[in-house]
Amino acid sequence: MTRATTTKTWLSLGLCGALATMTGASTAFAAAPTVSSRASLTSPWAVAPSMSRTRTSHTATLLSDGKVLVAGGTSWTSGPSSAAATATTEAYDPATNGWSARANLSTARQGHTATLLNNGKVLVVGGQNTATLASAELYDPATGTWSATGSLATARRGHKAVLLNNGKVLVAGGFGAAALKSAEVYDPATGAWTTVSPMGAVEGRISATLLPDGRVLAINDNGVNGVAERFDPARGSWGPAAAPPAFLGHAAVLLPQGAVLAVGQEQARFESGAWLFWAEDNEWEYVSYANESRRSGHSLTLLPSGKVLVARGTRNQIGGSVEVFDPASWTLFAVGGDASISGHTATLLDDGRVLVAGGTSQEEPELFSSAELFSE
């Protein structure tokens, strides 16, 4: 297996004073793209029709028919004072480049998860409206309707959900009255949840990624504690993994090479970068600095080429850069401009484009209904 050769000098400098050095290459600092060079890039974005309403902290799920179901989220009706969780849903059809209304959720919610099950239905779990929710519901694309299913043992919002190889769904972390370490597994065959052993140190805001061996890697994201753990579905328990950086606002995705790519800030004080977790060796490897130095709350989307789209999340209010991670060179590079938005969704379509929709401004109280399409 081809491995990256970049190494990171840790010390106490973080990424600000420690750019990668390549084996046999110069150790001179590499310059990030300038504003003028970014402007000269051909835009990879195309405007798509806006959703029917503003949304942030919603979900977007690619259905078996190629359409994208968007559900819930926080929405405005008449400005910031009217912000509230919504039960509305809608679907984007790439064939017509349009949106159409779908049946409402039974419960308005934001900060929930939505997982496409092997039977084609969508499992929506938890979130909050006026209170944190334990309820869950199923969307059936064949009938266009929602139905109740078993509730979580612990109400949670801001958690992660992962479809396991056995068809069940692991839900972990998130927040109730405090940051949660607990985890539960949903069985579509019975509609019931089983509480499994809690995480040991990972809690609250996390990323969760299915590994090639069927385990799930959970990475902490509070900017203070650099810890990670792996869930073993066969045992229903968690085990330790090598310690990552103390990420804040990171995202993670599995690469075709078998490594987990994590991109984000280190301790919120240092510039953003890219790391790889090699599960078979249980080790982390720093591979690239980022062109967008203060990216947080972004999304990672694996593209058909094997590259990874790093979108939104920039903290630059005048707009930043959208980046792509290339496993061929283990490098992040800018490919165009980007907006200062978090709380959005990014969904890979069947034709290879990525639908990015909604979100909220990083610095100002503003929600968006807009959508764009990214093309390689």
**3-class DSSP assignment, residue 203:** coil
Domain membership flag for residue 174: no
Q: Which residues pair with 296 in a beta bridge?
A: none
* Mode of pairing for the β-strands spanning 237-241 and 228-232: antiparallel
- Please give the torsion angle defined by the CA atoms of residues 108, 111, 117 and 121, in that order, rounded to the nearest 10 degrees: 20
Q: What angle do CA 286, 287, 291 make, to 5 degrees?
A: 110
Task: Give the residue among 230, 169, 177, 166 at the shortest CA–CA distance from 202.
Answer: 230
What is the helix (H) or strand (E) element at residue 35, kind and residue range? helix 35-39
* CATH code, domain carrying 375: 2.120.10.80
- Give the per-residue pLDDT at 4: 53
C-alpha–C-alpha distance, residues 276 and 278, integer Å: 6
- Give the per-residue pLDDT at 26: 28
Q: What angle do CA 266, 272, 273 make, to 5 degrees?
A: 95
C-alpha–C-alpha distance, residues 64 and 53, integer Å: 24
Domain membership flag for residue 291: yes
Domain membership flag for residue 234: no
One-letter amino acid of 314: T
Domain membership flag for residue 158: no
C-alpha–C-alpha distance, residues 96 and 199, integer Å: 44
C-alpha–C-alpha distance, residues 334 and 322, integer Å: 6
Domain membership flag for residue 218: no
- Give the per-residue pLDDT at 41: 53
**138 and 187 Cβ atoms separated by less than 8 Å:** no
What residues contact residue 75 under an 8 Å CB cut-off, 6+ apart? 53, 54, 55, 83, 84, 85, 86, 88, 367
Q: Is the pTM of this model over 0.85?
A: yes
C-alpha–C-alpha distance, residues 45 and 48, integer Å: 9
Domain membership flag for residue 324: yes
**296 and 342 Cβ atoms separated by less than 8 Å:** yes
* Total domains present in the chain: 1
Q: What angle do CA 76, 360, 274 make, to 5 degrees?
A: 160
Domain membership flag for residue 155: no
Task: Give the torsion sign (CA, 280, 281, 286, 287).
Answer: negative
Task: Give the residue among 319, 202, 184, 325 at the shortest CA–CA distance from 252.
Answer: 325
pLDDT averaged over consecutive 10-residue blocks of the chain (376 residues)?
A: 44 30 29 36 90 97 98 87 93 98 98 98 98 98 98 98 98 98 98 98 98 98 96 98 96 98 86 94 96 90 98 80 96 93 97 97 85 97
C-alpha distances in angstroms, 171 versus 164, 176, 302, 324?
Answer: 10, 14, 22, 29
- Give the per-residue pLDDT at 151: 98
Q: What DSSP character marks residue 132?
A: B
C-alpha–C-alpha distance, residues 292 and 321, integer Å: 6
Domain membership flag for residue 283: yes
Task: Give the torsion sign (CA, 222, 225, 231, 236).
Answer: negative
Maximum distance among all Cα pairs of the chain, rounded to whole angstroms: 61
Q: Which two tokens stand for residue 183?
A: 């985890």
How large is the C-alpha radius of gyration of the chain? 20
**181 and 203 Cβ atoms separated by less than 8 Å:** yes
Q: Which domain holds residue 270?
A: 36-56+242-376
